[in-house]
Structures are given as C-alpha cells and as structure tokens.
Amino acid sequence: MPPKYEYPPTEFDPKPRTQPGSRNYIGILLGLAAVVAIVDRLTKRFIVHRLPEGSAHTIIPGVLRITHVLNTGAAFSMFSDSASSAAVRHGLVLFSVVAIGIVLAMLWRVRHTLSLTSVALALILGGAIGNVYDRIRYHYVIDFIEVHIVHYHWPDFNVADSCIVIGACLLFIEIFRPQPQN
C-alpha cells in the first residue's frame, strides 16, 4: 500500500487534502442523509394517515403538540399567502435543488473525513431532500411539530426541518470552535 501523504494547502483550499485512495466516508454520509429523508417521509406519512388535516394532539400541555399542517410557503410559512403560489413553489423547488447540489458538492469535498462538518452536511442534505420531495409531489410541505415555550410559539416544523437546523448549528459550532495549531 502506498504511503499516505497530504497535498499542501492553497489559498483556495486551506485544508490539506488527503491523498486519493485514503478512507472514503461518502457512503456513510449519504447513508445518514438517506436515513434522515426516510425518517422524515415515514413520520409525515404517519401524520397524514393518523391525524386529520388541521387538527392537533397535545403531548405536553402548553409546550408540545402534534399537528397536521400543510405549508405552501418557505421556512416559517413565508410566502404562503402569495398571489402566485405556483411561482413561489417553483422558486422554492429550484432553490432547494440548487442547495442540494451545493451541499452534495461540499459533502464530496469532505468525504475523506468523518467530522462535525461532514455529519452536519449530511443532515442538511437529508432534510433538504425530504422537504423538496414534498414540494415536488404534493406542492406543499407537511409540518407536524408545534412547540410553545412560555409565550413564544415556534411555527410548525417537521423532521427534515429539525435536521437542517441541527446541521446548521453543528456547522456554526465548527466555525467558531478553536482550531488546533500545527
């Protein structure tokens, strides 16, 4: 087996790149994204088949309810009352597909490391795929988790949204985490 070495960093690629042929985690990362998308799909199907649209089931009074909401807009139902719902839907699908492509490219770049960054990107990818599937197939996203904290009401969301937010938080942590000195 040839010795492993790293290519020197450049101004466009500040992290050293591992020699081709070293451990490749892309299968694990894409598997994680697939698990997120599948769990999102299964939970949405469960809600659709068990809870009538517009209804809710209280889990923790004043804190957590399971609902059945159809979101035709973007995050937090932005643009859902737009006069041109088809244009909004097409724009959101296009944005999502571009975002999925960008995240896939980023995931490909970090495929040789299993890190906070690569796991975060896999979570974001799985969540984006889960929501874009709904937008393409149903023209809306199924949301079903409603949270209240004291007087604050968080807009309804789903597993895909949760994974996107968790992934973004992990990236945020990674950005501000002190880097080891060489």
Residue 33, in any domain of the structure: no
Q: Are 118 and 29 within 8 A, CB to CB?
A: yes
Query: Is the Cβ–Cβ distance between 86 and 72 less than 8 Å?
Result: no
Give the neighbor-by-neighbor strand order of the sheet with 56-60: 56-60, 64-71, 141-149, 152-157
Examine residue 82 and state whether it is found in any structural domain, yes or no: yes
* Residue tagged active-site, from 40, 134, 143, 156: 143
Residue 104's CB is within 10 A of a number of other CB atoms, namely 17
Instruction: Decide if pLDDT at 68 tops 80.
Output: yes
Q: Determine whether 40 is an active site residue.
A: no
The domain of 86 spans: 46-175
Please name which of 167, 154, 138 lies closest in space to residue 41, comparing C-alpha atoms.
Answer: 138
Tokens at 135, concatenated: 């937008």
In a domain, 38, yes or no: no
| Among 39, 57, 35, 63, residue whose Cα is nearest residue 144 | 57
149 compared with 11, residue with greater pLDDT: 149
Q: Is the model more confident about 154 or about 129?
A: 129
The pTM (predicted TM-score) of the whole model is: 0.82
Report if residue 156 sits inside a domain. yes
d(CA 98, CA 90): 12
Q: Please indicate whether residue 156 is annotated as part of the active site.
A: no
Count: domains in the chain: 1
Residue 39 is assigned to a structural domain of this protein: no
Highest mean pLDDT among 4-18, 76-90, 153-167: 153-167
Specify if 17 maps to a domain: no
Residue 181 domain-assigned (yes or no): no
Within a domain: residue 151? yes
User: pLDDT-derived band of residue 90, with 50, 70 and 90 as boundaries?
Assistant: confident
* Per-residue model confidence (pLDDT) at position 15: 59
| Close Cβ partners of 5 (under 8 Å, ≥ 6 residues apart) | 19
Annotated catalytic residue: which of 40, 134, 156, 161?
161
Q: How far apart are the first and last CA of the chain?
A: 27
pLDDT of residue 101: 97
